[in-house]
Amino acid sequence: MKYFDTHCHLDFQQFEIDRDYVIKRAKQENVEYILNVGTGIESSRKVIEISEKYDFIYASCGIHPLDVSDYKIEDLKEIEKLVRNKKVIAIGETGLDYYYSKENKEKQKDFFIAQVEIAGKYNLPLIIHQRESKNDLIEIIERIKLPEKIVFHCFGGDIELAQYCKEKNFYISFTGILTFKNAKNVKEVVKIYPIEKIMVETDAPFLTPHPFRGKRNEPFMVKYIIQEIKNLKNMEKVDDIIFNNSLKFFNLGGDG
């Protein structure tokens, strides 16, 4: 079995003391690829630095909607410089988050649109973060030119948004939330979403899956999310399909 943790934050200070050990353990548990996702400029630099130390770790660069308050729109020029590094395989995370921050909606939108453009210009997949911002996000998606590949990361339990993503041929990726007993709605999304468009991620250090809930999340735990998808879909070869979807999405030598 091979796994791909398509979204985590090993650059965060929660991994400062034992980062190398966490990475080694992931590899031992068959995590063959890790995508470390930047949330700001410093963070994007750091995920590149980590990716240069390990050949199976890649980087995504971007400014998270909850971090836009620290930056000016011109700062995205720095992100543009960073994406020229060959270990950078995606743009993000970017998007809109009105759950934690609704005072700066317009600024979040500007940063999102600008990062969509960078993804288009460099022909890179885009990682979208969405929380309580569905209508504004759809409004923007409908009027601007999008890059070829889009994933809604940490997909929540919104069936309506799932239907929209399905029509648009977007990928969605699931976190440890899926393993929680009370995550009924998100389990329904798994059932209706085409398996060819599903990926998994830990979003470590956050959202630790059952049975490790309460502990710090790590990439090796990604298999518990896949197990839950297997149970819900009641399908063979779910592991291989999800692994290949991820290679294909991030242009890492999958079958297209």
- Closer CB to Zn ion, residue 22 or residue 238? 22
Cα 196 to its chain centre, rounded Å, is 16
Min dist CB 203 to Zn ion, Å, is 5
Min dist CB 154 to Zn ion, Å, is 7
Residues numbered 203 to 222 that lie near Zn ion (CB under 5 A) are 203
Round to whole Å and give the CA distance between 199 and 127: 12
Min dist CB 5 to Zn ion, Å, is 11
- Closer CB to Zn ion, residue 205 or residue 238? 205
- Closer CB to Zn ion, residue 67 or residue 203? 203
Sole window of 74-82, 94-102, 119-127, 200-208 interacting with Zn ion (rule: CB under 5 A): 200-208
- Closer CB to Zn ion, residue 11 or residue 228? 11
Min dist CB 235 to Zn ion, Å, is 27
All residues at 6 or more sequence positions from 234 whose CB lies less than 8 Å from its CB, including other chains: none
Min dist CB 4 to Zn ion, Å, is 15
Min dist CB 176 to Zn ion, Å, is 12
- Closer CB to Zn ion, residue 179 or residue 217? 217
Sole window of 42-50, 66-74, 198-206, 233-241 interacting with Zn ion (rule: CB under 5 A): 198-206
Sole window of 24-32, 76-84, 110-118, 197-205 interacting with Zn ion (rule: CB under 5 A): 197-205
Sole window of 100-108, 167-175, 177-185, 201-209 interacting with Zn ion (rule: CB under 5 A): 201-209
- Closer CB to Zn ion, residue 179 or residue 202? 202
Q: How many residues bind Zn ion (CB under 5 A)?
A: 1
HEC string of the chain equals CCEEEEEECCCCHHHCCCHHHHHHHHHHCCEEEEEEECCCHHHHHHHHHHHHHCCCEEEEECCCHHHHHHCCHHHHHHHHHHCCCCCEEEEEEEEEECCCCCCCHHHHHHHHHHHHHHHHHCCCCEEEEEECCHHHHHHHHHHCCCCCCEEECCCCCCHHHHHHHHHCCCEEEECHHHHCCCCHHHHHHHHHCCHHHEEECCCCCCCCCCCCCCCCCCHHHHHHHHHHHHHHHCCCCHHHHHHHHHHHHCCCCCCC
Which residues of this chain interact with Zn ion, rule CB under 5 A?
A: 203
